[in-house]
Amino acid sequence: MNQYRIQELTKNIDADLFKSQFLTLEEGGRLAFPHVWDFDQALGNCDYFAAHRNFDRWDILGTYVWPNVVVLGDYRAEVEYMRKFYLDRLRWMNTEISFW
């Protein structure tokens, strides 16, 4: 259940079983999702965690790069977009889970 929450909260595009999720068989025959990884297409598709090294090597700030949804041209604006996306997604999840 924790894996599901993490993937849903970050709206990870790669979170379905056909793309980038792996199951393991634990003792007792139980299936498990042991890895939480591959978030390059999550959190509104912004992946600028290593920003300085990234932009020193590739001069792409302000340029559309698939699959990013927005191009803001400024590192702080990109981080703010990701923060807002995360908070909006958390609010949406809280609303939706109340219907369960």
The verdict on pTM exceeding 0.85 is: no
pLDDT tens-digit profile of 39-49? 666 766 654 46
Residue 55 pLDDT level (bands cut at 50, 70, 90): confident
Nearest-CA neighbor of 13 among 50, 35, 38? 38
Range of the domain at 37: 2-97
pLDDT tens-digit profile of 15-37? 666 566 667 788 888 877 766 66
Burial class (CB in 10 A: 0-12, 13-18, 19+), 17: exposed
Quote the mean pLDDT of the chain.
Answer: 77
CA-angle at 73, arms to 67 and 77, nearest 5°: 90
CA 99 from chain centre, in angstroms, equals 24
Q: Look at the chain and report how many structural domains it folds into.
A: 1
